[in-house]
Amino acid sequence: MGRGRSNDTGDWSQPPNTQIIYKIGIYGWRKRCLYVFLLLLMVTVIVNLALTIWIIKVMDFNLHGMGKLRIHDDKVRVEGTAEFLKAIYTQELSSLPNSPLKLESARNITFNARDPQGTIVNRLYLGHNKLEAYANKFQINGRNGHPLFSADEREVVLGAHRLKVAGSGGVTFKGSVQTPTVSSDIDSLRLESLTRGMYLSAPEGISIEAAGGTVNISSLFDLKLESLSKTIRLDGRNIQLRNIPVSEPGEERENQNIYQVCICKNGGKLFLAPPAGNCHATPDICS
């Protein structure tokens, strides 16, 4: 065997008549997954469209609002009953024309007014068996704007023409009362102080009058009528002084503290005279 080198070199070039075909697309399991995904997407779109149409139908959406809710440029109007689950913030709340406004809550209703810093300055609380108002001043006005009632820390003012207390127990004041007239239309009028005194004062005068009945003034101790500079006048058809002590007859003694009570004829003025002799008045007494 002899050694030698083969001169046969390999020719790797393609034959002139050979064609190469490249397949473009998704085949096999990828194609099936794509079809399934497109089918699920179509079902999802149809379900969403159906839900959207159902929500629009149930909520009654339209071009003007939603159901009984009408949305305008400057206001929101609710035709019917509205239920708010959370807080509501509004500048003005009013009812429809010729319709009442009803506010109802299962627990309580609270109205708060805040300042620009957000601090609550006024509050109106309507709860179980009570109505509370928290404010520096509480005021009620009439239809003409005249204040009927106002209250603050200093005073309570009643602006009505007449204050009428219809309770059977009357009214109790712990402090002083300043009023021009105290009257009773039907029943009797009774002024009393159970544990302390009663003081009536006026810069010009005090008038106690019963147009169709009797005025009774009673006291457990002394009853004092005093006029510092003018006259005490008792004017009536009959003037009766009852339970006057009667002096028993006995030994006559001169007593400087005993006088006669005399009456002027022209005016009924009372004056005292010495116990002995007749009643004689000086000209200045009965003038």
Q: Is the pLDDT of residue 103 over 70?
A: yes
Q: Is the pLDDT of residue 184 over 80?
A: no
Binned at pLDDT 50, 70 and 90, residue 212 comes out as: confident
∠ CA 157-163-164, nearest 5°, is 150
Binned at pLDDT 50, 70 and 90, residue 250 comes out as: low
Q: Is the pLDDT of residue 12 over 60?
A: no
- Residues 172, 170: Cα–Cα separation, whole Å: 7
* 53 sits in which H/E element: helix 29-59
* 280 sits in which H/E element: none
pLDDT tens sequence across 17-65: 667 766 667 777 888 899 999 999 999 999 999 999 998 888 878 777 7
* 225 sits in which H/E element: none
Query: Which residue did the predictor score with more confidence, 119 or 27?
Result: 119
pLDDT at position 164 is 77
- Contact partners, residue 147, CB within 8 Å, separation at least 6: 139, 140, 141, 157, 159
pLDDT tens sequence across 126-177: 988 889 988 889 899 988 888 999 998 888 888 887 777 777 777 777 777 7
pLDDT at position 249 is 64
Sketch the domain layout of the chain as residue ranges: 20-82
pLDDT at position 1 is 47
